[in-house]
Amino acid sequence: MPPKISVIVWNEFQHERENAAVRAIYPDGLHATIADALRRNPALEVGTATLEQPEHGLSEERLAGCDVLLWWGHKAHDQVSDAVVERVQRRVLEGMGLIVLHSGHFSKIFRRLMGTHCSLKWREADEKERIWVVEPSHPIAAGLGEYFELPYEEMYGERFDIPKPDTTVFISWFEGGEVFRSGCCWERGHGHVFYFRPGHEAYPTYHDANVQRVLDNAVQWAAPRVNMPDRCPMSPALETLSPKTLNFAKVGIAQNQEDIE
Amino acid sequence: MPPKISVIVWNEFQHERENAAVRAIYPDGLHATIADALRRNPALEVGTATLEQPEHGLSEERLAGCDVLLWWGHKAHDQVSDAVVERVQRRVLEGMGLIVLHSGHFSKIFRRLMGTHCSLKWREADEKERIWVVEPSHPIAAGLGEYFELPYEEMYGERFDIPKPDTTVFISWFEGGEVFRSGCCWERGHGHVFYFRPGHEAYPTYHDANVQRVLDNAVQWAAPRVNMPDRCPMSPALETLSPKTLNFAKVGIAQNQEDIE
Amino acid sequence: MPPKISVIVWNEFQHERENAAVRAIYPDGLHATIADALRRNPALEVGTATLEQPEHGLSEERLAGCDVLLWWGHKAHDQVSDAVVERVQRRVLEGMGLIVLHSGHFSKIFRRLMGTHCSLKWREADEKERIWVVEPSHPIAAGLGEYFELPYEEMYGERFDIPKPDTTVFISWFEGGEVFRSGCCWERGHGHVFYFRPGHEAYPTYHDANVQRVLDNAVQWAAPRVNMPDRCPMSPALETLSPKTLNFAKVGIAQNQEDIE
Amino acid sequence: MPPKISVIVWNEFQHERENAAVRAIYPDGLHATIADALRRNPALEVGTATLEQPEHGLSEERLAGCDVLLWWGHKAHDQVSDAVVERVQRRVLEGMGLIVLHSGHFSKIFRRLMGTHCSLKWREADEKERIWVVEPSHPIAAGLGEYFELPYEEMYGERFDIPKPDTTVFISWFEGGEVFRSGCCWERGHGHVFYFRPGHEAYPTYHDANVQRVLDNAVQWAAPRVNMPDRCPMSPALETLSPKTLNFAKVGIAQNQEDIE
């Protein structure tokens, strides 16, 4: 029996505490809703972590054992400590998977891995989103049809300031007239990164069966194949050619002979 | 007559001051050698900047007028201020071109734009490097043959921990047995980024005619087409569909009615 | 003064002859409308060619002098001779640019260069298309705003069975609910290929100022930088290592000694 | 227990019959050597097919049940029937995996899926090849070290006229001075395509343990996730906006009113 994929669902967990409408949808936090759905897959071992916990629930030890981290944040990106962000980045580059959700496009960790602003257009107006599957043979699209719909979502519109995705799995249509690359895959170091757009806190998106399927697929896709810490080694030569004399005269530059090492 | 492309060649400028052999090759700093070569192109307006200058020679005003920045650093990456790095990143995302040279793979600005460690293998052993042109129709390869050689260089070998380049223009062969993607292109925001491997300070690489041709080509390739500051606007709807009623009951989630906005 | 970019606009030219409504929009053929618009750019030298001409107007000589070919076809793809298709493909691989329009997604030349079916969803229902600019700094997007609209077009919807574009410049929104990657760039050999979706014959799309701007931009983007015929040369070694003895015993495979060359 | 991955190893099988030195290395054909190695994996069901068989051993029925096809050809590419090539292409676009080996770069099926010449430099001179692993976390690189060597191979050198790979897993170093992208991945339709360079018939390459590991990894990577025949459907609208009147006057084009449908 192969070992379970170890998953952490990280959530800011502020909106739920401050806003009754959001709490009504996610009584224990959206991380609990996402985690409960993922736990239906017996191959996954799922925990959660939130901003206000010590080290935001992401200690060195906990992250060392984490295969895939999901991240939801919105109004408190700046409160995430740089030390934890660097730790998460290092783990991704070693092989840990990362799934960034919705407003997490502006999280420190996503912007750090992308190198761009990650800006976009937006509008909160209870609009329908239709998520088209552009790559139906991609693992993240398994079990979905040609598209699925969310009756109410916050619009995100192009231009999404991201590096070109390695693969664009989903493109969304919004009733107000916009489009958006809503499912994007990259590799950073040995880690897989997946950005998935839906998930405005005021809508029950994470209760949606298709959304839950996407997250389950994405966790399996993002699970690490290797765990390789960073190295920048001096490496001895593998081949020997004829002996060399360092001779700048040969390349046309005059110099002070006694200075040459 | 179109306006000149405004170029800044940035250099740490420490090795030249501390090491006589390096000073013999680059008496005024390698930035001066690179700048002098670029100035032969009348379409370019070329200045330089070094680490020890106020704001590392890269004030807001100066960077605002800069079209393409070349960057060489090695032993003092940590001495570059985060404020200047953020400023350079912002300018790249707005449209400024960036050419990162040799040991600049570990510069703060390159790692920030890539999101990865940018590690590699290396060896200082006076070895021949043969730079093969993989994309001969790319603007950066203009005027080069199938390959060119540098008689002495520091080896860099794969695996180079970078995000997949949008285009790999050059792949190098080293006599000690390694290979390396030595000319790599990416876009970050509206800016073009080119990493070019050769340029160990103890060799006269920046005097080489082919290397100078590559840099001239790269400056023209990286020159901005737009200058677009970052925006993340709330955008009004362009289309109106039928009126909407926010109705969670419709999607199967019970809630406390008086809480709904 | 640099030489003009030599352009040929190729059109099947059947709908215009068979259908009065189409003829009303494009009295001399849609190729004439496109060519007239392109001729406003003094840097371009523009001709046309149509299916019924000898060799479809694309003789070896004519194609040898062509820098960029635009292609519109719909109901007669099978009538294009394989000899001409192979000739066009060879020229693209040598460096000639190719811009494929609308129903040209099913042309022999586009499918040959892509290697896929190039299938899609479609619907003729006089629907609005909004073309979003995803890469505003791309040369093909020069002079456009954030989006432009065509009041009436034929819908094309994902999944578009194409290889991943090197760059997706435009994504379209259709009022009937679909999305489509409507501006896609690839390189094939030394040639640039651009697929641009709009252009159903029953609508005046090629009279549209934004569409004409896109085609003008695309011609300049696709213009060749090199002209390199195909070669597969035996190449002598550039380096000599120690002498070799062909010795299969060394790698563990028994053989009949007298058979070894 | 999941169903086995069904594999076919296709080989021209001419060199082995005509050349005793080659027959000494591959007495039953190189396809038998490759197939025997793959059969060590109990998850695979492996068969073979050769050129001279009816339909080259690739009937509709046999291909319909094939998950991954490996292809080795060299001197008889032109003898492969176009009907079989089209059948193989269709199966790849539906989801079948394809692994193209060595001189198969000039096979009809590989050139058809790539759309380019697939030319390269070459030299038969018993030279060492060192295959560097550029993407160590890629499934095809599983179980390999940083590199592996083949003591004798035929050199292939850049420029390799292929579309940009989605992923370059391996880059080779040759003792005569060349480099080559020797492990390249693409997607075509729903199928995975992997090109793997080594395999000159006069050397025992397919007996090599690392090469056999690569092929086993590649078969698992290329195994289909879906099987989707081609469709280009007319699709009814999913949304209804306000009723439309087709009105060319609105867009500034005069026409003959009675012609409008």
pLDDT digits (tens, 9 = 90+) for B129-170: 999 999 999 999 999 999 999 999 999 999 999 999 999 999
Packing angle, helices B209-222 and B30-39, rounded to 10: 70
Measure CB to CB from residue B115 to each of A175, A188, A230 and give the nearest one. A188
Contact at CB, A188 and B163, closer than 8 angstroms: yes
Contact at CB, D95 and A137, closer than 8 angstroms: yes
Using DSSP bridges, classify how beta strands B191-196 and B97-101 pair: parallel, antiparallel or unpaired. parallel
Contact A26, A39 (CB under 8 A): no
Q: What is the pLDDT, as a whole number, of residue C2?
A: 85
> What are the chain C neighbours of B236 within 8 Å (beta carbons)?
none
| Paired tokens of D252 | 């500034």
Question: What is the Cα–Cα distance from A137 to D190, expressed in whole angstroms?
Answer: 6
Measure CB to CB from residue B158 to each of D167, D171, D177 and give the nearest one. D171
In Å, what is the CA distance from D96 to each residue of D92, D126, D227, D240?
A: 4, 35, 8, 38
User: Residue range D230-258: average pLDDT?
Assistant: 63
Contact at CB, D136 and A228, closer than 8 angstroms: yes
Q: Is the model's pLDDT at C254 over the cut of 60? A: no
Dihedral sign, Cα of residue C156, residue C159, residue C161, residue C167? positive
User: Which residue from D222, D129, D246, D213 is spatially nearest to D167, judged by alpha carbons?
Assistant: D222
Scanning D162-201 for CB atoms below 8 A from C yields 163-164, 166, 175-178, 186-189
Query: What b/e sequence results for A204-238 when a residue is b if at least 16 CB atoms lie within 10 Å of its CB, and e otherwise?
Result: bbbbbebbbbbbbbbbbbbbbeeebeeeeeebeee
Contact C145, B238 (CB under 8 A): no
Q: What is the pLDDT, as a whole number, of residue A243?
A: 54
Q: Is the model's pLDDT at B215 over the cut of 50? A: yes
Contact at CB, A137 and D239, closer than 8 angstroms: no
Neighbours of chain C (3+ CB pairs under 8 A): A, B, D
Contact at CB, B190 and C137, closer than 8 angstroms: yes
Gap from A22 CA to chain C (nearest CA, Å): 29
Residue pairs between chains A and D whose CB atoms are closer than 8 Å: 31
Q: What is the pLDDT, as a whole number, of residue A253?
A: 41
User: Residue range A247-256: average pLDDT?
Assistant: 41
| Exposed / middle / buried, residue C103 (Cβ in 10 Å: 0-12, 13-18, 19+) | buried
Q: What is the pLDDT, as a whole number, of residue C88?
A: 98
Contact C168, C184 (CB under 8 A): yes
Q: Is the model's pLDDT at D178 over the cut of 90? A: yes
Count H helices and E strands in chain B, helices first: 7, 9
The residue type of A34 is I
Q: Is the model's pLDDT at B251 over the cut of 80? A: no
Measure CB to CB from residue D226 to each of A130, A137, A225 and give the nearest one. A137
Question: D130 CB near a chain A CB, below 8 Å?
Answer: yes
> What are the chain A neighbours of D139 within 8 Å (beta carbons)?
225
For C119, phi and psi rounded to 5 degrees? Answer: -75, 165
Q: Is the model's pLDDT at D261 over the cut of 60? A: no
Q: What is the pLDDT, as a whole number, of residue A41?
A: 98
Contact A94, A63 (CB under 8 A): no
Gap from D16 CA to chain A (nearest CA, Å): 33
The residue type of D213 is R
Q: What is the pLDDT, as a whole number, of residue B7?
A: 98
Query: Looking at chain D, which residue has its C-alpha nearest residue C92?
Result: D116
Contact at CB, C171 and A158, closer than 8 angstroms: yes
The tens digit of pLDDT for each residue in C206-241 reads 999 999 999 999 999 999 988 999 999 999 999 876
Question: What is the Cα–Cα distance from B100 to B119, expressed in whole angstroms?
Answer: 14
Q: What is the pLDDT, as a whole number, of residue A240?
A: 78
| Residues with Cβ within 8 Å of residue B20, at least 6 apart in sequence | A256, A259
Contact at CB, C224 and B166, closer than 8 angstroms: no
Query: Looking at chain B, which residue has its C-alpha nearest residue C95?
Result: B137
| Exposed / middle / buried, residue A85 (Cβ in 10 Å: 0-12, 13-18, 19+) | buried
The tens digit of pLDDT for each residue in D34-83 reads 999 999 999 999 999 999 999 999 999 999 999 999 999 999 999 999 99
Q: Is the model's pLDDT at B247 over the cut of 70? A: no
Question: What is the Cα–Cα distance from D39 to B62, expressed in whole angstroms?
Answer: 65
Measure CB to CB from residue C231 to each of D119, D186, D248 and give the nearest one. D119
pLDDT band at D194 (very low <50, low <70, confident <90, very high): very high
Question: What is the Cα–Cα distance from B173 to D173, expressed in whole angstroms?
Answer: 7
Question: What is the Cα–Cα distance from C110 to D66, expressed in whole angstroms?
Answer: 28
When scoring B93, B134, B137 by the number of chain C Cβ atoms within 10 A, the one with the most, hence best to mutate, is: B137
Query: What b/e sequence results for B125-150 when a residue is b if at least 16 CB atoms lie within 10 Å of its CB, and e otherwise?
Result: bbbbbbbbbbbbbbebbbebeebbeb
Query: Looking at chain A, which residue has its C-alpha nearest residue D130?
Result: A238
Gap from C134 CA to chain A (nearest CA, Å): 5
Gap from B31 CA to chain D (nearest CA, Å): 31
> What are the chain C neighbours of B190 within 8 Å (beta carbons)?
136-137
Asked, as a colleague might, if the bond just before A159 is cis with ω within 30 of 0, I would say: yes
Dihedral sign, Cα of residue D66, residue D68, residue D72, residue D78? positive
> What are the chain B neighbours of C136 within 8 Å (beta carbons)?
190, 226, 228
Question: What is the Cα–Cα distance from A227 to A94, expressed in whole angstroms?
Answer: 5
Question: B146 CB near a chain D CB, below 8 Å?
Answer: yes
User: Residue range A155-171: average pLDDT?
Assistant: 98
Query: Looking at chain D, which residue has its C-alpha nearest residue A241?
Result: D175
pLDDT band at C252 (very low <50, low <70, confident <90, very high): very low
Q: What is the pLDDT, as a whole number, of residue C256?
A: 34
Q: Is the model's pLDDT at A255 over the cut of 50? A: no
Model pTM above 0.90: yes
User: Residue range A79-104: average pLDDT?
Assistant: 98
Least confident of A155-159, B110-114, C188-192, D233-237: D233-237
Neighbours of chain D (3+ CB pairs under 8 A): A, B, C
pLDDT band at B240 (very low <50, low <70, confident <90, very high): confident
Contact D163, D129 (CB under 8 A): no
Other C-beta atoms within 10 Å of D82: how many? 9
Contact at CB, D171 and B159, closer than 8 angstroms: no
Q: What is the pLDDT, as a whole number, of residue B130?
A: 98
The H or E element that residue C92 is part of is helix C82-94
Q: Report H helices in chain B.
A: 15-18, 20-25, 30-39, 60-64, 82-94, 108-114, 209-222
pLDDT band at D250 (very low <50, low <70, confident <90, very high): very low
Q: Is the model's pLDDT at A251 over the cut of 50? A: no
Question: What is the Cα–Cα distance from B91 to B81, expressed in whole angstroms?
Answer: 16
Query: Looking at chain C, which residue has its C-alpha nearest residue D19?
Result: C259
For B169, phi and psi rounded to 5 degrees? Answer: -85, -40
Question: B123 CB near a chain A CB, below 8 Å?
Answer: yes
Contact at CB, A172 and C164, closer than 8 angstroms: no
Question: What is the Cα–Cα distance from C98 to C71, expressed in whole angstroms?
Answer: 8
Contact at CB, C137 and B228, closer than 8 angstroms: yes
pLDDT band at D243 (very low <50, low <70, confident <90, very high): low
Q: Is the model's pLDDT at A260 over the cut of 90? A: no
Q: Is the model's pLDDT at D260 over the cut of 60? A: no
Question: D240 CB near a chain A CB, below 8 Å?
Answer: no
Q: Report H helices in chain D.
A: 15-18, 20-25, 30-39, 60-64, 82-94, 108-114, 209-222
Gap from C1 CA to chain D (nearest CA, Å): 33
Q: Is the model's pLDDT at A248 over the cut of 80? A: no
pLDDT band at D2 (very low <50, low <70, confident <90, very high): confident
Measure CB to CB from residue C137 to each of B138, B226, B239 and give the nearest one. B226
Gap from A156 CA to chain B (nearest CA, Å): 9
> What are the chain B neighbours of C190 within 8 Å (beta carbons)?
136-137
The tens digit of pLDDT for each residue in D80-105 reads 999 999 999 999 999 999 999 999 99
Neighbours of chain A (3+ CB pairs under 8 A): B, C, D
Scanning C64-103 for CB atoms below 8 A from A yields none
Contact at CB, D250 and C93, closer than 8 angstroms: no
When scoring C137, C187, C221 by the number of chain B Cβ atoms within 10 A, the one with the most, hence best to mutate, is: C137
Contact at CB, C113 and D115, closer than 8 angstroms: yes
Contact at CB, A225 and D166, closer than 8 angstroms: no
Residue pairs between chains B and D whose CB atoms are closer than 8 Å: 55
Contact at CB, A179 and C173, closer than 8 angstroms: yes
Contact at CB, D171 and B181, closer than 8 angstroms: yes
Percentage above 70 pLDDT, chain D: 92
Dihedral sign, Cα of residue B118, residue B119, residue B122, residue B128? negative
Contact at CB, D126 and C246, closer than 8 angstroms: yes
Contact C29, C9 (CB under 8 A): no
Residue whose pair of structure tokens reads 């000739």 in the numeric block: C87
Dihedral sign, Cα of residue B94, residue B97, residue B101, residue B105? positive
> What are the chain B neighbours of A208 within 8 Å (beta carbons)?
251
Q: Is the model's pLDDT at D253 over the cut of 90? A: no
Contact C194, C99 (CB under 8 A): yes
Gap from A137 CA to chain D (nearest CA, Å): 6
pLDDT band at D241 (very low <50, low <70, confident <90, very high): low
Gap from A91 CA to chain D (nearest CA, Å): 14
Q: What is the pLDDT, as a whole number, of residue C240?
A: 79
Q: What is the pLDDT, as a whole number, of residue B246?
A: 52
Gap from B86 CA to chain D (nearest CA, Å): 30
Q: Is the model's pLDDT at C247 over the cut of 60? A: no
